[in-house]
């Protein structure tokens, strides 16, 4: 791999990794190295597999975000994991540092519209013809220096959902150049982490949990 990606767990069916921030999940117009290609290279080299390597992409993370991601190493695992994500039986916990002091607990319920040409999401009225409901709950773990560390549980899995909903509520994510209007575009270190994933193993049916630690860099280090 051109850049080492920390592996949290692997077997014949799963590959679970800690995605570094600012790496696209799959190849895009930027031409930058992407997770899918690098992890296929990792499998090819480690197991001396000739030709094309199968690796199933069953969920996504925004390019500037980091944290736990699971990939499927067989088509059967890909189908079963994708079904879990569709049925919302995967527990997804995120952590984020946001601007402002958030309530101790809360829920955000909005309708979102994605402009696919611009890759931009906005909160719209329920009557919008392409509106999709988006819901999440959160609890505040700590506040410091005008920032809050929040833990978020997604009830839906909309594109850019956490970033858009918190910005709309008046608490944009630290380092969000796209939706945090007051921040500068060059600040790409988005403070959004896929902290924990809980899912059923696709063949053993055992419940599994994977977590990562918080990054030791600004702004996370202030909450460690």
Confidence of residue 117 (pLDDT cuts 50, 70, 90): confident
Residue that wins the pLDDT comparison between 211 and 28: 211
> pLDDT tens-digit profile of 71-98?
999 999 999 999 999 999 999 999 999 9
Establish how many alpha carbons lie within 13 A of residue 18's alpha carbon, considering only the half-sphere containing its beta carbon.
12
Residue 184, pLDDT above cutoff 80:
no
Out of 21-25, 28-32, 69-73, 139-143, pick the least confident. Answer: 28-32
State residue 204's pLDDT score.
92
State residue 51's pLDDT score.
83
178-185 average pLDDT score: 71
State residue 189's pLDDT score.
79
What DSSP string describes 144-189?
ETTEEEEEEEESS--TTHHHHHHHHTT-PBTT-TTT-TTS-TT---
Is there a contact between 103 and 140 (Cβ–Cβ < 8 Å)?
yes
Residue 165, pLDDT above cutoff 90:
yes
| Cα-based angle 90, 92, 93 (whole degrees, multiple of 5) | 155
108-130 average pLDDT score: 94
Name, in order, each residue with C-beta under 8 angstroms of 79's C-beta and a sequence gap of 6 or more. Answer: none
State residue 222's pLDDT score.
82
Residue 3, pLDDT above cutoff 80:
no
Does 187 qualify as catalytic in the annotation? no
119-147 average pLDDT score: 95
DSSP percent split of the chain into helix, strand, coil, nearest 5 = 15, 35, 50
- Centre a 10 Å sphere on the Cβ of residue 206 and count the other Cβ atoms it contains: 8
Token pair of 139 as six digits? 């609890």
Name, in order, each residue with C-beta under 8 angstroms of 118's C-beta and a sequence gap of 6 or more. Answer: none
Confidence of residue 31 (pLDDT cuts 50, 70, 90): confident
Length of the chain as a residue count: 224
Question: In the chain, at which residue ranges do the beta strands (DSSP E only) sit?
Answer: 7-10, 14-19, 56-57, 66-72, 91-99, 105-115, 120-124, 132-144, 147-154, 192-200, 207-211
- Residue whose C-alpha is closest to residue 15's, from 5, 3, 7, 6: 7
> pLDDT tens-digit profile of 47-80?
988 888 999 999 999 899 999 999 999 999 999 9
State residue 100's pLDDT score.
96
State residue 177's pLDDT score.
86
Of 34, 41, 48, 62, which residue is the catalytic one? 62
> pLDDT tens-digit profile of 36-49?
999 999 999 999 88
- Residue 219 forms beta bridges with which residues? none
pTM equals 0.92
**Domains of the chain from N-terminus onward:** 7-223 (3.30.2350.10)
State residue 187's pLDDT score.
52
Residue 188, pLDDT above cutoff 80:
no
């Amino acid at each position: 791999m051109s850049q080492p990606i920390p592996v949290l767990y692997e077997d014949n069916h799963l590959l679970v990794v800690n995605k570094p921030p600012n790496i696209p999940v799959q190849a895009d117009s930027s031409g930058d190295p992407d997770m899918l290609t690098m992890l296929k290279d990792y499998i090819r080299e480690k197991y001396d597999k000739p030709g094309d390597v199968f690796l199933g992409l069953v969920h996504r993370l925004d390019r500037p975000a980091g944290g736990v991601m699971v990939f499927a190493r067989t088509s059967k695992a890909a189908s079963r994991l994708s079904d879990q994500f569709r049925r919302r039986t995967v527990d997804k916990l995120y952590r984020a540092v946001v601007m402002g002091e958030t309530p101790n607990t809360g829920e955000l319920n909005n309708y979102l519209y994605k402009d696919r040409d611009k890759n931009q999401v906005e909160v719209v009225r329920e009557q919008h013809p392409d509106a999709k409901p988006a819901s999440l709950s959160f609890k505040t773990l700590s506040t410091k220096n005008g920032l809050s560390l929040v833990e978020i549980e997604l009830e839906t899995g909309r594109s850019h959902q956490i970033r858009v909903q918190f910005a709309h509520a008046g608490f944009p994510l630290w380092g969000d150049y796209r939706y945090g209007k007051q921040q500068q575009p060059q600040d790409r270190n988005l403070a959004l982490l896929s902290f924990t994933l809980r899912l059923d193993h696709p063949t053993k049916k055992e419940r599994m949990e994977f977590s990562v630690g918080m990054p030791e860099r600004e702004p996370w280090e202030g909450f460690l």
